Amino acid sequence: MSTDKKLLLDVRDLKVHFSIASKSAWPWAKPASLKAVDGVNVRLYEGETLGVVGESGCGKSTFARAIIGLVEATEGEVVWLGQDLTKMPSAQRRETRKEIQMIFQDPLASLNPRMTVGDIIAEPLETFYPELSKQQVKDSVKEMMTKVGLLPNVINRYPHEFSGGQCQRIGIARALILKPKMIICDEPVSALDVSIQAQVVNLLKELQKELGLSLVFIAHDLSVVKHISDRVLVMYLGNEVELGETDALFADPKHPYTRALMSAVPIPDPRLERAKTIQMLEGDLPSPISPPSGCVFRTRCPQASDMCAQQKPQLEGSDIHAARCLQVSI
C-alpha cells in the first residue's frame, strides 16, 4: 500500500474476549472466555476500502463493532488519526463518532419504524449540531437523499413503505449526513437481491470517489469484495490469516483457508465453472471458547503437520501480501 496517503486507522493487536458463565455445577468454577477477536492488526488509509471476509462466526462483525466502540476491546489499540479510541474519555470519543459511521446488515431493522425517513436521516444532525435551524436540517436531508438516489418528496414516509434496497439507501444517507471520514459497512448487501446488491455497491463506490470516504466493507461474497476493495483481510476464528492488496491476494492466495474460500466463488464461464475443483473444508468451525492450540486452522487444514499444533504462526510477508501459515512462504 502506498504510504503517500494519510493513515486514518491503525488497529494494533485488537482482542475482544467475552466472559461466558461456566456450566459447571460448582459455584466456584471460573467463567470461560470466548475469543471473538484474538489479535488483529490492520491499517486503513484515506480513500481506501478494506474488505473483510470469512465464515459466519469468524469475528468480522465483532471486529467492526470494536473499532466504532459498540463493543469494548479487551486488549490492543484502535488508533484513529493518531489517538487511541480505546483510551479516550467518553466525551472526546463521542465527538469522533461524527467521523466514523456504520451501515448495518438488515436495512429495515436498523431504521426506527415510528420515525419518518426525514427524521431518521436528520437525527444525527440534530444530535451533533443542535444550533442548526429546522430549515437548514431539512435542506441537508433533502440534499443527502438526492445523493443516495431517493426522491426528496418521500421525506415524510415511513420505513415500511420502502423496499429493502431503498431502506439501505436511507441507512447510507443517515451515515453520510455528518460527512464522516470513514464508514464501516457490516454486510450491507447480504439481505438484498443480486441486482439491488450491484446498485448499492456501485452507489458506495460513487460516493466514496465523490466524498473521499474510507470504507471497511464486510461481506461473505468474495466477488463483491473483489469489486469494491483495495485490500482484503481474511479472518478465521477471530484471527487474521491473510492480508493483502486485492489483486495480489486474488491472483495468488497463500493460506489454505483463503484458497478454499476462493474455490467456492462461481465463475461466469460455464466451462471453467465445471472444470474447477472446489476445495472442501472438512469438519466444523471450532468453538472460540476453546480454540485449537498452535494454528487455529489446523483442525481443518489439508496441509497441517505436528508443528502446526505446537507453534502459532505469525503474519509474515509485506504490505502488499502477508499470510499467517507455517506451511507457506511469501
Q: Is 27 a domain residue? A: no
Task: Judge whether 106 lies within some domain.
Answer: no
CATH, residue 16: 3.40.50.300
pLDDT for the residue numbered 275: 74
Task: Say whether pLDDT at 4 is over 80.
Answer: no
Q: Is the confidence at residue 241, as pLDDT, over 90?
A: yes
Rounded to whole angstroms, the Cα distance separating 188 from 67 reads 17
* 39 plus 137 within the same structural domain: no
Q: Is 274 a domain residue?
A: yes
Reported as a pLDDT band with limits 50, 70 and 90, residue 89 is confident
> CA-CA distances (angstroms) from residue 318 to 241, 329, 330?
14, 11, 8
Residue 249 falls inside a structural domain: yes
pLDDT at 191: 77
297 confidence band (pLDDT: 50, 70, 90): very high
Tell me what pLDDT residue 24 has: 62
Q: Residues 10-25: pLDDT tens digits? A: 999 999 999 887 666 5
Mean pLDDT over 287-297 rounds to 90
pLDDT for res 267: 73
As a whole number, mean pLDDT of residues 229-246 equals 95
The tens digit of pLDDT for each residue in 39-67 reads 999 999 999 999 999 988 899 999 999 99
Regarding whether 203 and 173 lie in a shared domain, the answer is no
**Total domain count for the chain?**
2
Mean pLDDT throughout 222-245? 93
- Rounded CA gap, 122 and 141, in Å? 6
Q: Span 187-216, mean pLDDT?
A: 91
pLDDT of amino acid 326:
86
CB neighbours of residue 150 within 10 Å: 21
pLDDT category at 304 given cuts 50, 70, 90 is: confident
Retrieve residue 232's grid coordinates: 482484503
Rounded percentage of the chain residues whose pLDDT exceeds 90: 64
Q: Please tell me which residue, 229 or 326, carries the higher pLDDT value.
A: 229
- My answer on whether 252 and 303 are in the same domain is yes
- List the single range of 53-57, 275-279, 307-311 with lowest mean pLDDT: 275-279
Q: Is residue 95 part of a domain?
A: yes
Grid coordinates belonging to 75:
486488549
Helix ranges (DSSP H) in 212-281: 222-228, 246-251, 256-263, 270-275
Say if 330 falls within a structural domain: no
What pLDDT sits at residue 274? 76
CA pair distance 278, 302, nearest whole angstrom:
13
Domain co-membership, 168 together with 189? no
Residue 296 pLDDT exceeds 60: yes
Spatial distance between the Cα atoms of 65 and 91, rounded to a whole number of angstroms: 19
| Digit-coded pLDDT (tens) for 154-201 | 999 999 999 989 999 999 999 999 999 999 999 998 878 888 888 999
Assigned domain for 229 exists? yes
Helix (H/G/I), strand (E/B), else coil: 296: coil
Q: What is the pLDDT of residue 92?
A: 85
Cβ pair 324, 239 in contact under 8 A = yes
Residue that terminates a domain, selected from 179, 195, 227: 179
Higher pLDDT, 201 or 272: 201
Reported as a single tens digit per residue, the pLDDT across 23-36 is: 665 666 778 889 99
- pLDDT, average across residues 229-240: 95
15 and 152 part of one domain: no
At 142, give phi and psi (nearest 5°).
-65, -40
Residue 316 has pLDDT above 60, yes or no: yes
Is residue 26 domain-resident?
no
State whether 199 and 82 are in the same domain.
yes
Mean pLDDT value across the chain: 90
Structural domain harbouring 133 = 113-179
Are residues 51 and 92 both part of a single domain?
Answer: yes
How does DSSP classify residue 82?
A: T
- State whether 217 and 73 are in the same domain: yes
C-beta of residue 225 within 8 angstroms of C-beta of residue 170: no
In order, the DSSP letters of 58-74 are SSHHHHHHHHHTSS--S
Cβ neighbours for 6, distance < 8 A, ≥ 6 positions apart: 45, 46
Same domain, 247 and 202: yes
Select from 179, 195, 213 the last residue of a domain.
179
The full length of the chain comes to 330
Last residue of a domain, one of 146, 179, 212: 179
* CA distance linking residue 329 with residue 323, whole number of Å: 8
Burial 95-110 (b: 16+ CB within 10 A, else e): ebbeebbbbbbbbbeb
Distance CA 127, CA 153 (A): 24
Give the sheet arrangement for strand 83-84, strand by strand: 32-45, 7-20, 75-80, 83-84
Residues 221 and 309 in one domain: yes
CB burial of residue 64 (10 Å; 0-12, 13-18, 19+): buried
Measure CA of the first residue to CA of the last residue in the chain; give whole Å.
16
**139, 185 in Cβ contact below 8 A?**
no
Is 304 found in the same domain as 216? Answer: yes
Q: For helices 164-176 and 117-128, give the axis angle rounded to 10 degrees.
A: 20
Residue 133 and residue 250 in one domain: no
pLDDT at 3: 57
